[in-house]
Structure 1
Amino acid sequence: MLRLISLAAFCSMASMRVCDPMLVALSLEYQITTGDASAVIAAFAVAYGVLQLVYGPLGDRVGKVRVIIGATAACAVFSAMTALAPSFSLLVVARAAMGAAAAGIIPLSMAWIGDEVAYEQRQETLARLMVATVTGMMAGQWFGGFATETLGWRAALGVLAVLFFTAATLLLRHARASGALRPVVVPGAPAFSLANYLAGTLALLRIPRVRWVLTVVAIEGALAFGTLAFVPARMVDGFGLSASAAGGVMVLYGVGGLIYSMFARRWLAALGERGLAVLGASFIAIGLLSLAWAPAVGWAMLGCFLAGIGFYMLHNTLQVQATQMAPEARGTAVTLFACLLFLGQSTGVLLVAFSVDRGWLPPVFTAAAVGIFVLGLLISRRVQARGAVAGA
């Protein structure tokens, strides 16, 4: 089951990043600016973030595996719709629907692991899922660029539709055979109530520690993820690379994430969470500055690699805080964390989109570098050795 869930997670992350190298091609086909074309990324991110608040309770009520299968099948349908979209407006709507469906795959996969895997093996299992998601991100960025240049951007989304359909079919077959589709019955559990859910969410937001972590991750999403979407455009316009080459450079970002996952335990032991936050923010800042001002493409590629390592250093530190900021309501807290991350990303995409059409990407990348470095320092000062947040 884990391998099939990992396949669905791979497809989900690939779909999130597949449009990054397409922005220039979309702007040319639909006669719009590159900034306007970024709406396909922002729409996906907004829907992905908001729907996090829905899938948690839904998975608890009807079963996580059922929701994962349904979300994967919906992604197949909406990916096919994006590949066939006759207008840019319909393309954006289809991408938003795809983001809404994809939001139910990775978070519920993590929750399923929490339910089914013993604590002693859970970290290793989550690391295997992380490899699938990071590999999906790399594959989406590379194949999006390759397909745009050789087959047409619609082909990339069509291939994703086939992969999603395959994953959903295999998951459904395996779940039926293993009995994983049995109704979830929790003795004594109260029926879901929207009023109770909203009341619980508001109660969480009254906790200073929760508000601080959510604010920080939203800023991180805007500064790190918001700029990431425009790295391929920077490689094309600033260094003259083709769409496929720009997508290939973005693979280095994912390679950085994989390297972090391999050495995370050693680096955490050597640096602690505070050190990881500062070093991670520093790497992201160096990466953004290299992408903004490097005189040669080789330095920009190195910057992309460093930004990948740095992001996972910084973000995983925040993820630990998210799991501990409200232990009595961990599921809701983590979904809020994911929601704010992607809402921050969509905000960042919209802000950077305003600058890309005016040739302001280097100054904006510079401002983001400064902002992420300051954010890393603030996180380092608030994170305590035991993994809590000071001042809670």
Structure 2
Amino acid sequence: MTDAAAPEAAANPAAWGAVLSMALCVAMLIASEFMPVSLLTPMAEGLRATEGQTGQAISISGLFAVVASMLVTTVAGTLNRKWVLVGMTALMLVSLVLVAAAPSFAVLMIGRALLGVCIGGFWALATAVIMRLVPEGDVPKALALMYGGQAIAAAFAAPIGSYLGGLFAWREVFWALTPIVAANLVWHVVALPSLPARQRQDFRAMFGLLRRPHFLTGLIASMLSWGSAFTMFTYLRPFLERVTDVDVTMLSVLLLVLGCAGFVGTWASGRYLKGDIAPFLKLPSLLMGGCTVGLLFLGGSVVAVGLLLALWGAMNTAMSVIFMTWMSRNADDAPETAGSLMVAAVQTSILLGAVVGGWLLDGLSVQATFIGSVVLAGAALMLIGDGRRLLKPATSA
């Protein structure tokens, strides 16, 4: 850790409060970004659109997240990173209000585009900020704690959103998120220490990282892994309704099972990612792709679906910690630049997963969407191999 302020922040117990405030922000980002998954059917009906079109509400946020992640470190220049994160959280609040009040599909998409800017900006800086808040040895633990927010959102946002959407309406679900985001905005101001920019980033630094074979390979592997995951996850509700034939109550239960399993994935990744990262890199595609195959064959059984979604959910949260730990160790000399590229890669994958999955769903069937997910998982496994090619030369021995 080269930043002079980092040891001071790490020695301050309040730095863990800052990590917790970022964890809550992650929870709200994940809940806001993927809430349409649990509300896809009622949102489509309310906006007079197809389910495939409504799924593009996720892809549009992904598109703007890609652009924001590539530009944030350059546009932010020498601005204090604390206030950049505060600004991104404020933008999330604005986007939620626009989505909840949207009178048309076009306004909904504008709100989702603003959310994408927040997502891209926050995630591009998040890992680099965590590396400055805690000692190097505590980075995996802090990342797991921050991604605990992802587990919380995965555990409760989707099932609660589905349940409340059935009781009230989908707009009320988005309105319910706004006071939590407002409180998180205040927490950021209080808890985050001053984080002066280390240096101004530019596109030359990005191209420099992309010229490193191990980093480029890892970037593509992460894109395939996330692309596989979200080709399936974006259209999980139509699958459960049409193939598993569940009602709203059982749908909420299954989504709760998936989400609660995320706590296991977060705990395990924080506990066991202390040594060689290489063996862990193939696990997301291997296990999540295998679960998707299982759903294709056993989708008619509620019990089997519940077990498969539990395993999928645990691996989903672990995947984020695995790849961000890989990034922190293998691009530690340029964490903000690497973070920008990682977020751009992941959001591009989510965007393409939602778009291609929607085409397959509307044009063929939901089973075709899941088969596309399995194909991407297989490609990721072939690229990753034993994981050694994704490590920088100094750590590959």
Same fold by TM-score, threshold 0.5 exceeded? yes
Query: 2:30 touches 2:154 (CA, 8 Å); kept in 1?
Result: yes
Structure 1 residues 42 and 387: alpha-carbon distance in aligned structure 2, compared to 1, 3 A threshold: same
Could you tell me which residue of structure 2 aligns to residue 153 of structure 1?
Answer: 170
Structure 1 residues 14 and 201: alpha-carbon distance in aligned structure 2, compared to 1, 3 A threshold: same
1:233-252 to 2 correspondences below 5 Å: 233-243=238-248, 245-252=250-257
**CA distance in structure 2 between the aligned counterparts of 1:317 and 1:304, rounded to whole angstroms:** 19
1:222-267 deviation line (CA, Å, top 9, x unaligned): 2112221111221122223234542442333333332122223665
Query: 1:281 touches 1:376 (CA, 8 Å); kept in 2?
Result: yes
Query: 2:147 touches 2:320 (CA, 8 Å); kept in 1?
Result: no
1:206-285 to 2 correspondences below 5 Å: 206-243=211-248, 245-264=250-269, 273-285=277-289
**Aligned to 2:345, which of 299, 318, 340?**
340
1:32-43 to 2 correspondences below 5 Å: 32-43=49-60
Amino acid corresponding to residue 169 of structure 2 in structure 1: G
Structure 1 residues 209 and 42: alpha-carbon distance in aligned structure 2, compared to 1, 3 A threshold: same
**CA distance in structure 2 between the aligned counterparts of 1:156 and 1:96, rounded to whole angstroms:** 19
Amino acid corresponding to residue 118 of structure 1 in structure 2: P
**CA distance in structure 2 between the aligned counterparts of 1:55 and 1:363, rounded to whole angstroms:** 36
1:79-102 deviation line (CA, Å, top 9, x unaligned): 011000000111112111112123
Could you tell me which residue of structure 1 aligns to residue 106 of structure 2?
Answer: 89
**CA distance in structure 1 between the aligned counterparts of 2:165 and 2:329, rounded to whole angstroms:** 42
1:49-75 deviation line (CA, Å, top 9, x unaligned): 321123334566212221121111121
Could you tell me which residue of structure 2 aligns to residue 202 of structure 1?
Answer: 207
Could you tell me which residue of structure 2 aligns to residue 168 of structure 1?
Answer: 185
Deviates more, 1:110-119 or 1:25-34: 110-119
1:108-158 deviation line (CA, Å, top 9, x unaligned): 343322212222333322222121222123322122212211110001111
Asked if 1:293 is matched to 2:310, the reply is no
**CA distance in structure 2 between the aligned counterparts of 1:241 and 1:329, rounded to whole angstroms:** 47
**CA distance in structure 1 between the aligned counterparts of 2:126 and 2:349, rounded to whole angstroms:** 23
Deviates more, 1:225-234 or 1:309-318: 309-318
**CA distance in structure 2 between the aligned counterparts of 1:170 and 1:385, rounded to whole angstroms:** 37
Structure 1 residues 102 and 312: alpha-carbon distance in aligned structure 2, compared to 1, 3 A threshold: closer
TM-score, normalised to structure 2, is 0.85
Report deviation, 1:207: 2.6
**CA distance in structure 2 between the aligned counterparts of 1:311 and 1:375, rounded to whole angstroms:** 15
**CA distance in structure 2 between the aligned counterparts of 1:247 and 1:343, rounded to whole angstroms:** 28
**CA distance in structure 1 between the aligned counterparts of 2:168 and 2:35, rounded to whole angstroms:** 14
**CA distance in structure 1 between the aligned counterparts of 2:391 and 2:221, rounded to whole angstroms:** 19
Deviates more, 1:375-384 or 1:92-101: 375-384
Query: 2:268 touches 2:318 (CA, 8 Å); kept in 1?
Result: no
Deviates more, 1:61-70 or 1:346-355: 61-70
Amino acid corresponding to residue 281 of structure 1 in structure 2: S
SS in 2 for 1:86: coil
1:349-389 deviation line (CA, Å, top 9, x unaligned): 10010121245221331342243144224313342697769
**CA distance in structure 2 between the aligned counterparts of 1:383 and 1:315, rounded to whole angstroms:** 19
Aligned length: 379
Amino acid corresponding to residue 184 of structure 1 in structure 2: P
Query: 1:226 touches 1:346 (CA, 8 Å); kept in 2?
Result: no
Report deviation, 1:22: 1.3
1:182-201 to 2 correspondences below 5 Å: 184=196, 192=200, 197-201=202-206
**CA distance in structure 1 between the aligned counterparts of 2:292 and 2:67, rounded to whole angstroms:** 28
Structure 1 residues 315 and 79: alpha-carbon distance in aligned structure 2, compared to 1, 3 A threshold: closer
Deviates more, 1:65-74 or 1:376-385: 376-385
**CA distance in structure 1 between the aligned counterparts of 2:203 and 2:278, rounded to whole angstroms:** 33
Query: 2:31 touches 2:153 (CA, 8 Å); kept in 1?
Result: yes
Could you tell me which residue of structure 1 aligns to residue 70 of structure 2?
Answer: 53
TM-score, normalised to structure 1, is 0.86
1:115-154 to 2 correspondences below 5 Å: 115-154=132-171
Could you tell me which residue of structure 2 aligns to residue 310 of structure 1?
Answer: 315
**CA distance in structure 2 between the aligned counterparts of 1:144 and 1:371, rounded to whole angstroms:** 29
SS in 2 for 1:349: helix
Query: 2:273 touches 2:322 (CA, 8 Å); kept in 1?
Result: no
Asked if 1:17 is matched to 2:34, the reply is yes
**CA distance in structure 1 between the aligned counterparts of 2:243 and 2:297, rounded to whole angstroms:** 9
**CA distance in structure 2 between the aligned counterparts of 1:170 and 1:269, rounded to whole angstroms:** 30
Identity %: 16
**CA distance in structure 2 between the aligned counterparts of 1:330 and 1:115, rounded to whole angstroms:** 10
1:168-227 deviation line (CA, Å, top 9, x unaligned): 13433x25xx8x45x8376xx5xx4xxx71222222223322322222222222211222
Over aligned residue pairs, what C-alpha RMSD do you find?
3.0
Structure 1 residues 121 and 152: alpha-carbon distance in aligned structure 2, compared to 1, 3 A threshold: same
Query: 1:273 touches 1:385 (CA, 8 Å); kept in 2?
Result: no
**CA distance in structure 2 between the aligned counterparts of 1:323 and 1:50, rounded to whole angstroms:** 22
**CA distance in structure 1 between the aligned counterparts of 2:138 and 2:277, rounded to whole angstroms:** 22
Q: Which runs of 5+ in 2 are unaligned?
A: 1-16
SS in 1 for 2:39: helix
Query: 1:256 touches 1:305 (CA, 8 Å); kept in 2?
Result: yes
Deviates more, 1:370-379 or 1:44-53: 370-379
**CA distance in structure 1 between the aligned counterparts of 2:188 and 2:260, rounded to whole angstroms:** 28
